[in-house]
Chains A and B, each alone.
Chain A
Amino acid sequence: MAEHRKFALVPFGERTLTVGSSDPSAGPAHEVTLDAFALADRCVSAGDFHAFLREAPQDVDHTMVDCIDPAFVVHRADGFALRPGCADFPMIQISFWAAAAYCNWLSRTEGREAVYDVTARTADLDLDGYRLPTEAEWEAACRAGAPDPAACNSADASPACRALRAGELGTGAFPPGSPGPVPVGSLPADGAGLHEMLGNLREWCHDRYGPYRSAPQRNPRGAQRGAFRVVRGGSFIDPAAELGPSSRLAAFEDTKCEVYGFRVAMPR
């Protein structure tokens, strides 16, 4: 595992599968064919993201990263700072474009091509760098791992899971007893080796949000236009019954919130 990040990449081969469901919010179900890709086994942690912020603070501005409570990263006179005990919690309070800026930094750090132009707000997914997963990739990985919604950090989390939440440890200014995230990789991996795919945080995906069509698609990448992005997996505020591999929500791409985080993907 690289020194500048705590996550590992899980490879997924080329595949054809049915995504979506009969639920109107996730339908119609349709067939997709995906090229091989790799997906991080856990979300980007506050420690991971802080390494980026310290090395390349010029790559973000304060409209992309929010440091008001609750937050694991604050901004003091000498720049971004990790709050005590927060390194392993997931990075929150970041916009879609802050996540994209992190992907670019990771690509540069590991000698890959930068996928995103954060200033122009464009992307070239044919490059070999890190990026956010498409929602089809995210769903394919989640179906492969088949995580149990009852075991995740949802609004219906078990007492054992709740005990891991930030508020119980007095970290990140989450009030004690309030819903909050658990550290990345702190819950058992699913069948594909992925942690916290369901619950914990809604994860930014690459796609602009748009309606599904029933026709088969190859490597779908979302709507052509719009300022809303797909977020997947649900969070600590979402009921377990609403969490699953096909559940999808939309989020305004400039939103920074304690229920949104992300994990990275790359082509193989």
Chain B
Amino acid sequence: MSAIPDTRRELPEFAEIPPGTLPEGADSPGFGLAVVPTTVFQYWLYLVDSGLRDAPDPRLHGFPAEPGTGLRAVGGGVVLDEDLGALPATGVTWHGALAYCAWLSPQVGRPCGLPTAAEWRYAAGGSLGSRWALGDVFDRQVYAPPSATGPRPVGATPPNAYGVRDLTGNVFEWCADRDATAVGSRVIKGGAYTVRNPESFENTTAFTADELSAVPYIGFRVLAGDAGRRGR
């Protein structure tokens, strides 16, 4: 079990998901998966380091002018609301999530990317395939308090058996997969504060969204392979 995550962490902490058979039948050698979604603070460090703070790229992200989600568009650049650094990074497109992973890889010394929907589901439900990340009962107060009108800080749910938090609820998470029928859409998993039916949060449920979407209800979490090989 991991401790309560330090929400000022500059780099993600990874839970190690053991080798096993993914839901679609493929074998996985195991992988690291970020304990919580990438935070506003972590994404901010990437924006600063890569020069995107002063020249944001609409293909990678789009932040609102209004406060509330941690990163704000101001005068052609981006500013951080420091007290909101523990929120999940949102307003990040699928391409922006991948770009963050590419930036992160050399810093953690592991190949980084987004999980496939099958890897996400395996990390959430384990080999027994629970319905939601913490079991077969939908606890609305834990996963998705009905009063929520925006993202909440990461680490709000207890860890599951692999030590991963927040898989169910808060914000959807980009996955690597292309959608089979919708051109330009990518899979998102886990449900968000904007949806209500328990079925929408189930580990097996997959929605898709336009890959250039920049919205406050989609974030992402990083998958890390083994340092010595590709890992997936």
Instruction: State whether B194 touches A173 (Cβ < 8 A).
Output: no
B30 contacts chain A at the CB level, 8 A cutoff = no
Point out the residues of chain A lying under 8 angstroms from B185, CB to CB: 69, 173
A121 contacts chain B at the CB level, 8 A cutoff = no
- Taken together as a complex, chains A and B put the C-alpha atoms of A162 and B15 apart, in Å, by 48
- Chain A residue with minimal CB distance to B197? A255
Considering only residues 242-258 of chain A, those with a C-beta below 8 Å from chain B are 252, 254-256
Determine, out of B3-11, B17-25, B109-117, B205-213, the stretch whose residues face the partner at the interface.
Answer: B205-213
Determine, out of B120-128, B130-138, B214-222, the stretch whose residues face the partner at the interface.
Answer: B214-222
Knowing A61-B149, A67-B210, A76-B214, the reply to whether A255 touches B196 (Cβ < 8 A) is yes
Instruction: State whether A68 touches B183 (Cβ < 8 A).
Output: no
Instruction: State whether B210 touches A254 (Cβ < 8 A).
Output: no
Point out the residues of chain B lying under 8 angstroms from A175, CB to CB: 181-182
Instruction: State whether A69 touches B194 (Cβ < 8 A).
Output: no
B58 contacts chain A at the CB level, 8 A cutoff = yes
The distance from the CB of A251 to the nearest CB of chain B, in whole angstroms, is 12
Instruction: State whether A67 touches B209 (Cβ < 8 A).
Output: yes
* Total interface residues in chain A, CB < 8 Å: 24
Instruction: State whether A77 touches B196 (Cβ < 8 A).
Output: no
- Taken together as a complex, chains A and B put the C-alpha atoms of A67 and B207 apart, in Å, by 11
- Chain A residue with minimal CB distance to B193? A63
B179 contacts chain A at the CB level, 8 A cutoff = yes
Task: Map CB proximity to B onto A228-268 as digits: 1 under 8 Å, 0 otherwise.
Answer: 00000000000000000000000010111000000000000
A176 contacts chain B at the CB level, 8 A cutoff = yes
Considering only residues 59-95 of chain A, those with a C-beta below 8 Å from chain B are 61-63, 66-71, 74-79, 83
Task: Map CB proximity to A onto B162-199 as digits: 1 under 8 Å, 0 otherwise.
Answer: 00000000001000000101110100100001111000
> How many CB-defined contacts (below 8 Å) exist between A and B?
71
User: Which of A61, A70, A77 contacts B62, CB < 8 Å?
Assistant: A77
**Secondary structure type dominating chain A contacts:** loop
Instruction: State whether A63 touches B194 (Cβ < 8 A).
Output: yes
A188 contacts chain B at the CB level, 8 A cutoff = no
B42 contacts chain A at the CB level, 8 A cutoff = no
B53 contacts chain A at the CB level, 8 A cutoff = no
- Taken together as a complex, chains A and B put the C-alpha atoms of A78 and B61 apart, in Å, by 9
Which of A69, A77, A176 has the most CB atoms of chain B within a 10 A radius of its CB? Answer: A77
User: Which of B62, B195, B213 contacts A67, CB < 8 Å?
Assistant: B213
The distance from the CB of A28 to the nearest CB of chain B, in whole angstroms, is 32
User: Which of B61, B193, B207, B218 contacts A77, CB < 8 Å?
Assistant: B61
Point out the residues of chain B lying under 8 angstroms from A226, CB to CB: none
Point out the residues of chain B lying under 8 angstroms from A252, CB to CB: 196
- Chain B residue with minimal CB distance to A172? B182
* Total interface residues in chain B, CB < 8 Å: 30
Instruction: State whether A173 touches B181 (Cβ < 8 A).
Output: yes
Instruction: State whether B181 touches A176 (Cβ < 8 A).
Output: yes
B93 contacts chain A at the CB level, 8 A cutoff = yes
Instruction: State whether A62 touches B214 (Cβ < 8 A).
Output: no
- Taken together as a complex, chains A and B put the C-alpha atoms of A61 and B59 apart, in Å, by 22
Which of A68, A75, A176 has the most CB atoms of chain B within a 10 A radius of its CB? Answer: A68
- Chain B residue with minimal CB distance to A70? B182
Instruction: State whether A77 touches B212 (Cβ < 8 A).
Output: yes
Knowing A68-B172, A69-B207, A255-B196, the reply to whether A75 touches B213 (Cβ < 8 A) is yes
Point out the residues of chain B lying under 8 angstroms from A256, CB to CB: 194
Point out the residues of chain A lying under 8 angstroms from B218, CB to CB: 68
- Taken together as a complex, chains A and B put the C-alpha atoms of A175 and B93 apart, in Å, by 22
Instruction: State whether A68 touches B207 (Cβ < 8 A).
Output: yes
Point out the residues of chain A lying under 8 angstroms from B193, CB to CB: 63
Point out the residues of chain B lying under 8 angstroms from A75, CB to CB: 213-215
- Taken together as a complex, chains A and B put the C-alpha atoms of A49 and B56 apart, in Å, by 28
A170 contacts chain B at the CB level, 8 A cutoff = yes
Point out the residues of chain A lying under 8 angstroms from B149, CB to CB: 61, 63
- Taken together as a complex, chains A and B put the C-alpha atoms of A266 and B208 apart, in Å, by 37
Taking A68-B213, A77-B214 as known contacts, 7 extra A-B pairs with beta carbons closer than 8 A to each other, sorted by chain A number, are: A62-B217, A63-B194, A66-B194, A69-B209, A79-B62, A173-B210, A252-B196
Binding site for B on A (CB under 8 A): 61-63, 66-71, 74-79, 83, 170, 173, 175-176, 252, 254-256
Q: Closest 8 interchain pairs by CB? A: A77-B62, A77-B58, A173-B182, A74-B210, A175-B181, A69-B208, A68-B209, A77-B214
A-B contact pairs, 6 of them (CB 8 A): A62-B215, A66-B194, A68-B209, A77-B62, A78-B62, A252-B196
